[in-house]
Every structure is written in structure tokens, then in C-alpha cells.
Amino acid sequence: MQKYWDTPPPARPSAVAALLPEAVELRHAGRRLRLAPATVLAPMSGITDTVFRRFIRDLGGCGLIMTEFTSADGLVRSEKVARRYLSFAECERPIAAQLFGNDPEVMAEAAAVVEQMGFDSIDLNLGCPAKKVVKCNGGSGLLRDLPLLERLFLRLRKAVSLPFTVKFRAGWDEAHLVHVELARLAEASGVNGLALHARTREQGYSGQAQWRWIAEVKQAVSIPVFGNGDIRSPEDAAAMVAATGCDGVMIGRTAASNPWIFRQMESYRLTGAYAPPGPADRARLIGDYFERLVREGMPGGLGKMKQFASWFTHGVEGGARLRKAVYEARTETEALARVHAFFAEALALPATAAS
């Protein structure tokens, strides 16, 4: 299946671009959650905190954002967990809380907390391949126990009136694919939408996503299906929709390295073209993100700066020097000052205006 990684923007509108869906609705018991555009920021541990989510919102083009995946057990045991992982601002709406766990009663209690906190929807994580999560029979570990999943779906559905979605992988490995069976089970249990990361747990994040699995899920159910995996450009998103018929797309790692991706997809859908970021755009972006981390005193802010710098500075002229400067910083304010100084020199901007 052809994918269009690193393809430059087309010179004129494309019929394929027009296939990107304008909107999709998640419906339950008379409630309708409209996502426009039909794009979702995937939950990513250590990345999609409230600062990053608002950052994506401000750039535009994202229909739904999700929190970091959060332990249901931790949530019901500690208010601190809720404050750290599930605090959100009104400007982040629509927003979904993603939970993981394997006990139906605990999941139901955690889901009720999420609803009381005012989230717009709730998502169950069946995709995380991390050993520490799988070891506890969470995330993609649950793909080996469909009877337990059915109990989880039914109990969680009964516990809340919010739209309820599931993000999952195709199976434990290619010898044990369950994506179609799981999708049908979820729909029959009252789940309102599905997002398939078209890899197996065994793959982790390696190899290519098998988009045909998304098409198979889409053909098996009538609820909305979001495709996830190997979308690195607006062209990829359009190609996925064309190949699978999915109702929307979910993007994770690409959003961390190219936070403009959602805005670019919306521009591509409407015009068939989009503008790549220039050096000044990158300077403003990284400076703005670092300033927000400093201003809001996020836990682990310096680590997040170093992590973000490792993604975002590739493609920046002299990026290795900037990464080194950020890595060697000892405080958040020092890292921010080094970013400003780098871009002030690179772009001949005043140091105070580099953000």
C-alpha cells in the first residue's frame, strides 16, 4: 500500500485531499459529540499533558484531544492522580479522558469520576505495548482475553452516559489477530467509536502499520472508526481514508515532532495544499512551548524540554547545537534562555523576541 511519507505539498488541489472527512459524531443515548475536523490527538504518556494539549489546540485543526493514559486503579485511590493527569482547561474541549485497567468494577468507578470531572468522552486503552502495563494485564495485554473485555465494556457502558470509545491494536501478534472480533464485540456492548492502531502488540512501534486491518474493522461495524498508524503528512491521512474508508484519523508521534500536522491536514482538505513551517515558525513554536512549561511549573519540565527538543529540532539548521545546549541546561529557565539565544542568533532576532 503506497504511503506518502515526506512528500512535498501538491501544487494544486487534489481529489484525494477532499476525501479527508469534515466531521464525525460520537452518539450515545441522545448525546452527540461532534468532532470537526474528524481528527484526534492520540493519548501519549509523558507527552499529552495539559500544556501540550493547549499548545495543539492553539495551533488549530484538531477535532478531539485525549489525556495521557491514566490508571483507573490509581484514579480511584488518589485525588493526586486526577490532578496530575486529568486536569484540563475549558479551551481544551472537546476532550476525552483515557483510562487503562482490567477490573470491571474499578473501571466503572474511575469512569464515573471522569464523568463528574466534566470530560466530553471516555476512552479505554487496549493498545499500550509497554511491558509494565501488559504485565498487569492492561493495555494491549487485554487483547488475549475477550470475555474479560466484554465484561469491561458492558460495566463501563453502564457506569456513564458519556460517549465511550476504545483504542486498540489488531492483536497480540499476527498469529492471534482479534481486531474484527473485538470491534464487533465492542459495538454490541455499547461502545460508540473505535480507533485501531494497525499494528500488533508484538510489533510495538516497529515495522509498517497494516492499513488493511482498519478497512476490515470499518467493514465489520457501523460505529465510527478512526485509523491510526504511519500518518506522517496530510497526504498520508488522505491515503489512509481512501484505502480504508475510515471515518477519521488519529495521530500520535507525528504530532510531537510536527505539532502543525492537524492544521496542515485541515488546509489540505480544504485547498489541496498546506504550508510547511519556516525557521521563524519553529523559533516561535519551541520558544512558546518552553515558556509555557516555565510559567506553569509543570512537573518534570526540564525533562519535557529535552524530550521536545530531541523531536522538534531535527530539520532546524544547527539543530544538533541547539539540542546540545538544551540537554546541558540545569534548569528550565536556563534551557529557555538558550533557546532564545540560539534563535536570536540564527534568525537575527532580538533575544527577547525569539518566542
The residues that are catalytic are 128
Q: Which of 328, 330, 329, 310 is nearest to 320 (CA)?
A: 310
Query: H or E element: which one contains 347?
Result: helix 332-347
Cα 143 to chain centroid distance, Å, stands at: 20
Q: Taking CA 178 as the corner, what is the angle to CA 1 and CA 95, rounded to the nearest 5 degrees?
A: 80
Phi/psi of residue 301, nearest 5 degrees: -60, -40
Give the CA-trace dihedral at 68, 74, 78, 79, to 10 degrees: 20
| Strand, coil or helix: 121 | strand
> What is the DSSP track for 244-286?
H--SEEEE-HHHHH-TTHHHHHHHHHHHS--PPP-HHHHHHHH
- 166's CB contacts (< 8 A; 6+ apart) are 123, 124, 126, 153, 186, 191, 193, 194, 195
Supply the Cα-derived Rg of the chain in whole angstroms: 20
Ramachandran region, residue 194 (left: φ > 0; alpha: ψ -120 to 50; beta: rest)? beta
Q: Which pairing describes strands 164-169 and 193-197: parallel, antiparallel, or unpaired?
A: parallel
Report the alpha-carbon distance of residue 292 to residue 228 in Å, rounded: 29
- CB of 130 within 8 A of CB of 103? no
- CB of 209 within 8 A of CB of 230? yes
